[in-house]
A and B are shown apart, each in its own frame.
Chain A
Amino acid sequence: MANLKQLSQIPERLSGGHRLCAGCGASIALRQVLLGAGNSPVVIGSATGCLEVATTIYPYTAWKVPFIHNAFENSAATISGVETAYRALKKKGKIDKEIKFLAVGGDGGTYDIGLQSLSGVLERGHRMVYVCYDNEAYMNTGIQRSGATPRGASTTTAPAGEVRPGKMEFRKDLTAICAAHHIPYVAQANISYWNDLVTKAQKAFAAEGPAFLNILAPCPRGWRFPGEDTIEIGKLAVETGFWPLYEIENGALKVTYKPRNRKPVVDWLKAQGRYKHLFKPGNEAIIEAIQENVNKIWEKLEKGILI
């Protein structure tokens, strides 16, 4: 468990004044993750995306730690290069510090275009943490669908229209895909549960090998809710069971937070404009299917099964 008093002593690595939207879940996710690194030096790599473009507009940078952006699909491979350089130089006595390595990507850079790069890194066993800030669509380029976009959500490339109710497919289970690499630590987290998230980040940074965190990061612009509601929206995702909080530590699955009385998924859907069309007559079956899917995920989780 993270201790708030201790966390408050940890220096801020991402300074204010960056150009992310008010209420953006990505910067909250990253600040909480970095608290998990404690006082260790951290080198960060980011995929192209909201976080990268809004924090590093030349000649400014919001990062008080070494930071590298290479391209969209390769933050994992890039940081694997940095981490390998670190091992090589350390072996030669050119570096003596203990340094942590963090690669970051949005769901576009992680679930989709960067999946191969991430898989390679997890299989090769680099000692680094990969964080996906999952806002469930390509937000940086204007809310296009991704492999993380949930069924029923309206995006600009799978919009709700006269004959299609937004995205037709369920999201892919990236956390399970990463777990299938049998790495030391995999977890799902959410910015609205800071203690759970920071604790998971601490475990991820302490792991003797690759660690993966999938963090739900609400996006006011893309999900269509007021920016001041970010934390509440994040809570709804968990309380309705839509986004379970769990970890797989050295192969052992553990639900880290179980909502006492799971709220109906409708509560989560209703709070966001991207699901507005689902409440028109004729779309009841889609809402039912989404609820059924949540129920199924929890049935398995309660039996200790991920997939």
Chain B
Amino acid sequence: MLEAGKDMLETEKCVVKAITGDQAAAEAMRQINPDVVAAYPITPQTEIVMTYSQFVANGLVDTEFIPVESEHSAMSACVGAAAAGARTMTATSANGLALMWEIVYIAASTRLPIVMPLVNRALSAPINIHCDHSDSMGARDSGWIQMYCENAQEVYESIIMAVRIAEHPDVLLPVMVCQDGFITSHAVEGVRIFEDRIVKDFIGSYKALFPLLDVEKPVTYGPLDLQDYYFEHKRQQSEAIKNAIRVIPEIAAEFEKISNKNYGFIEEYQMEDAEIAILALNSTCGTTKAVVDKLRGNGVKAGLLKLRFFRPFPAEKIISSLSKMKAVAILDRSESFSNCGGPVFNEVRSAFYESENTPLITNYIYGLGGRDINTFQIESVYNNLLEIVKQNKVKNLVNYLGVRG
């Protein structure tokens, strides 16, 4: 993060704009200026599509925009456009992601570097337009890279980085950039926006490897792949996501040169001498930081581990950060209905299975359907961690925070 007394290297070329998380996403897209955007509006992503459509209408971008009739067609058209050789983007939320589900997998397996801002929203039923992570967590095994953003600034910067990660020849995977519906998507923040030229230079131009539009070298996309080859192709996909573990820090280092920000897989907040910690994603990290500050004032050695990437899953980074803790609470903003806790909890806990230093780990499922999470609740989690340390025992593996009954 930004160090005190040290501003952005390109600071004089940045402007601070008062915009929402959705507008920050649209602003990043404007500067990326993709060849094709195919999207369908859905709350709370709508403002991204509306803002971008206005950019198109005002001639601020060269993009050909496809106002498709559904999210299924949005991702289908994106697959076609990306296979054709175009830099391609879309955006969605919740039920929209669910409707495009089939093609979400196809985009990843076809190794098409599509970038998709995802504004996290609860999946139906009951229908609900507010934030939780059931949409993106459901897509965790689809083969997409997943970035999670605390605020509008991170949304803006992550989308710019996502283009480079997706298009890296050793990766070639689609990336979804997640932010919390309404909490960040509709809240106005001051967002530092690069000069257009800086983004343009950072992302560079895109040249697809095997474009459909190269009629001189015809290729077939999407053939029937049976018992004799399918497995090898899936194995290659595993290698690609493994490569992302190496490539992401390289691109983060390049991004640091223009932003002076070091975006890793994780962000540690007051973790150096911490004894108890919370691991969380997206906007809840901001709330948790405030609680950490308060507890630190009281002499409690509390810390926060913010997970910025859930795919690829940065197991080593998480272990090295959390193994020094006495007790850790994993905050999940989705329920997996496994009766064994949320998805983030399960993966973190599993990562520790063979670790020599494993902290006591507990899980909190919170904030479903946009239920507010406040500092008192987060403080209660830290208090519970202190109790766990005291008793050297996790009484309840899975807890529900801020729910009746």
List residues of A whose CB falls within 8 A of some B CB: 41, 43, 45, 52-53, 56-61, 63-71, 73-74, 77-89, 91-92, 95, 97, 99, 116-117, 119-120, 123-124
Contacts and interface: CB of A to CB of B under 8 A. Distances in A.
B73 interface: yes
B212 A77 contact: no
Contacts of B73: 74, 77, 80, 116-117, 120
B212 A43 contact: yes
Given A66-B219, A77-B68, A82-B81, 8 more contacts: A56-B223, A61-B220, A67-B218, A69-B220, A71-B106, A84-B80, A85-B82, A91-B62
B220 A85 contact: no
A81 B81 contact: yes
A245 B69 CA distance: 31
A53 B224 contact: yes
Contacts of A52: 222, 224
B76 A71 contact: yes
A68 B62 CA distance: 25
Given A68-B212, A71-B106, A89-B213, A81 B225 contact: no
A177 B242 CA distance: 48
A120 B218 CA distance: 27
18 contacts: A45-B80, A56-B222, A58-B226, A63-B218, A66-B220, A69-B220, A70-B79, A71-B106, A74-B103, A80-B73, A81-B76, A81-B78, A81-B88, A84-B36, A85-B64, A88-B81, A119-B69, A124-B68
A74 B71 CA distance: 11
Interface string B65-94: 011111011001111111111101000000
Contacts of B229: 58-59
For chain B, give the interface size range.
35 or more
Given A70-B103, A74-B103, A85 B213 contact: yes
Contacts of A86: 84, 213
B218 A65 contact: yes
B38 interface: yes
B81 A84 contact: yes
B387 interface: no
Given A70-B103, A84-B64, A65 B215 contact: yes
B221 interface: yes
Nearest to B64: A88
A68 B221 contact: yes
Interface in B215-245: 215, 218-226, 229
Contact of B213 (A43, A53, A59): A43
A17 B38 CA distance: 37
A79 B212 CA distance: 11
Contacts of B80: 45, 68, 70, 77-85
A84 B218 contact: no
A95 B86 CA distance: 11
B339 to A, nearest CB: 33
B223 A88 contact: no
Contacts of A120: 68-70, 73
Contacts of A116: 69-70, 72-73
B356 interface: no
Contacts of B63: 88
Nearest to B63: A88
B214 interface: yes
A61 B76 contact: no
B372 interface: no
Contacts of B69: 116-117, 119-120, 123
Contacts of B38: 81, 84
Nearest to B34: A88
B81 A74 contact: no
A78 B221 CA distance: 12
A123 B84 CA distance: 22
Most buried by B among A82, A97, A120: A82
A124 B65 CA distance: 11
B347 interface: no
Most buried by B among A67, A69, A77, A86: A77
Most buried by B among A41, A60, A64, A86: A86
A85 B221 contact: no
A84 B90 CA distance: 14
Contacts of A41: 215
Contacts of A123: 69
Give the 3 A-B CB pairs with smallest separation, nearest first.
A81-B80, A81-B77, A120-B69
Contacts of B35: 85, 88-89, 92
B79 A78 contact: yes
B102 interface: yes
A119 B220 CA distance: 26
Contacts of A97: 215
B76 A78 contact: yes
A99 B38 CA distance: 21
Contact of B64 (A43, A59, A70, A87): A87
A53 B220 CA distance: 12
Most buried by B among A69, A87, A89: A89
A69 B85 contact: no
Given A53-B224, A58-B226, A70-B103, A84 B72 contact: no
A89 B102 CA distance: 27
Interface in B367-390: none
A221 B69 CA distance: 36
Nearest to A69: B222
Contacts of A59: 223, 229
A226 to B, nearest CB: 27
A56 B38 CA distance: 27
A66 B213 contact: yes
